[in-house]
Structure formats: C-alpha cells, structure tokens
Amino acid sequence: MTRQQRIAALKAAAKDRILILDGSWGVMIQRRGLEEADYRGDRFREAEYPGQMKGNNDILCLTRPDIVTALHDAYYGAGADISETNTFSATVIAQDDYKLDPQSVWDINLEGAKLGRAAADAWTAKTPDKPRFLAGSIGPLNKMLSMSSDVNDPGARSVTFDEVYEAYRQQIRALNEGGVDLYLIETITDTLNCKAAIKAIMDLEEEGMDKLPIWISGTITDRSGRTLSGQTVEAFWNSVRHAKPFAIGFNCALGADLMRPHIAALSRVADTLVAAYPNAGLPNEMGQYDEQPDETSNFVGSWARDGLVNILGGCCGTTPEHIAAIAKAVEGVKPRNPAPSKHTMRLSGLEPFEVTS
C-alpha cells in the first residue's frame, strides 16, 4: 500500500473498531539486561562520545536494530494495530545529555522509522485484513518553555521557542522520510513545547512535506487533574484543537483507575478520536509496576464499553501480555462517537473559557 492508502485504511479501521496501540518499550528493553557495549555498538566509540551511553534506548535503532524489530514484532503479534518508533527522546535537545551530534539524532529517527515501517509492512502482508500502522514517537523534552529553570527567577528559561521548534522540525522531517503513517506527540507535560511541535509539522506541510494525521497525548501528572504546566483537561484540548488532530488523549503518570475521570472529561468535549494508554498502575517502592494484564484490561475495557475511547494501549510497565489482554477485552466493542463540534470561540489559559453570543 502507498502511504495515502495506509492513512485511509487507518481512518477506516478507527470507524470500525477500537484501535490498539503497543505498550511500554522501556520495560521490555530493561528486561534485556543490555550493557554499555550494546548501546555504543561500533559507531559510538567512547573516545568520540565520552560518558555513559547506557540507558539511551533510542540509540538502539542504530546499534541494536534487531532488538527494535523484535519489539515491534512482539507488540504487533500481541494484537496492536499501531506501534511506535523507538524515538521518544530523539531530538537534539534531549540527546544533548549524551552529547550526540545532530547527524546521529537524524539517523536515529530515520532508521527508527525504517525499522518500524518494515515490521508493519511484514505484519500487514501476513494479515491483510488487519493492516498494521506506524506512529512516529515525538516525546517531551527535558527542558520546558512554560516553566522557569530557576526557582529564583520566574522568567528564566533554559531553551527558547525557536530552539524547541527547530529540534522538533528535524525529528519530524526524519520520521516522515523514514515512512511513518502518523505522528504521536506524546507524554506532553508542557503544552507550549507541544505547540512548537505542532507548528513544525504545519510549517513543513506548507513547504510540501506529506501531510500525516497527528495524535496528541498529554499527561495528567497527579490527582489535581492538571498537566505539569497547570492546564485542566479542557484547557489542554482548547490549546491544541486548532491542529485538527486525528486523536487526542492522555498517557503515562497514572494507572487506569486514576486516569478514567480525565479521559471521561476529554471524551465529553473532543470532536475527534479519544485515545488513552495508562501505566500498569503506580510504581511500587522499587519503581516496578505490579498491575497484571487482567487488571489493566478490566479497567480500560470498562472505558470502552462505556463509550469513552477510540484507541487504547499501554505505557510504563505494560508488556505484550498487557496489550494482548486489552485487545481481547475490547474485541467487538464499538468505538466512541466523537462529541459534536461547537461553533463557539473557546480559549484557554490554565482553565478553559468559552465565548457565547
């Protein structure tokens, strides 16, 4: 299939059933017990790249592509319709922690997309009635535009909007060239960072780059019901709805039991698909996730039956077993109908504001 045919198939599938996203990559890579040499490979020798490279999971796209392909296969095999590229932190800003050069960051995104594309196409060839899709993972940065980097100086920022925009622009170009079907701007803690990514996508499309669906996924960081940059659920939606996203939702930070009210709130106002991929509960004292696949699937299965969601998956602590259980729990359940569009002006700061005549 061509890219446009795949996008059409994705949209058709979303009308027909609840789509399934993959689960955690971090927990599965951690299980491999990789050493420094696995991360460095032949390309990133210590003399040229000093410091520790272990833990930089994105670099495995270049040094251990076999692991990346195996994880795509594991999640597609578990029933995922969509898998993400292994590029969550593949921007020049985030990779500066490892002193990676811009060309290496570009290559991570390009090769990560190519690996995912090959895996998705192979699975589609095996099961043409269930095509598989590839989402380009665009994660948050370790620097925020909305919050001060110095507790003593509210106006201090360690990065500018233009720098964030350019970092995302490079990542998006490489993901597009590598063959992704859609963009997933995910784990958003700072809406202004997200808006820089959205602007980068829109500008590149105006310059002639292939137009792809955009999926936006924020993070509610605690029981306050707000993002880290302080927005309520509806304010967050009002801030990004101009992008006309294919899907909007939340992931990470919370388990499914605590995430439900926020997904329900979003479901009431969003005139597009709603997606959610929670953690496997909250971490225990050792930082491990104890929630079992049947528990997670019971939680999110009830969301589906109550008509709250269109796409489900897993974040931290979830495995192919969790994804298989979720897929089984929502089999045959009709997807949510998007909320009707309101022809009113809706604004947002930290709270939403609606102007009616």
Q: What is the pLDDT of residue 43?
A: 96
Helix axes 102-126, 65-78, angle to 10 degrees: 40
Contact 168, 195 (CB under 8 A): no
Please tell me the pTM assigned to this model: 0.96
Q: Is the dihedral of CA 99, 104, 105, 109 positive or negative?
A: negative
Q: Do 139 and 94 contact (CB within 8 A), yes or no?
A: yes
| Amino acid code (one letter) for 210 | D
Q: What is the pLDDT of residues 321-333, one digit of tens each?
A: 999 999 999 999 9
Q: CA-to-CA distance for 103 and 85, rounded, in angstroms?
A: 18
All residues at 6 or more sequence positions from 17 whose CB lies less than 8 Å from its CB, including other chains: 330, 333, 334, 335
Smallest CA-to-CA distance from 8 within 133, 120, 128 is with 133
- Locate 94 and state its tokens: 């985030």
Q: What is d(CA 279, CA 327) in angstroms, rounded to the nearest whole number?
A: 16
pLDDT, tens digit, 9 for 90 and up, residues 250-300 = 999 999 999 999 999 999 999 999 999 999 999 998 889 999 999 999 999
Q: Provide mean pLDDT across the span 53-73.
A: 98
CA neighbor of 197 nearest in space, from 156, 153, 245, 230: 245
For the chain, how are helix, strand and coil distributed in percent, rounded to 5? 45, 15, 40
The SS3 call for residue 150 is: strand
| Residue 352: predicted pLDDT | 87
pLDDT over threshold 80, residue 355: no
Q: What is the pLDDT of residue 350?
A: 87
Query: Does residue 357 surpass a pLDDT of 70?
Result: no
The predicted structure's pLDDT at residue 170:
98
In Å, how far from its chain's centre is CA 124?
A: 22
Q: How far apart are CA 319 and CA 225, in angstroms?
A: 26
Residue pLDDT, tens place only, 217-254 = 999 988 788 999 899 999 999 999 999 999 999 999 99
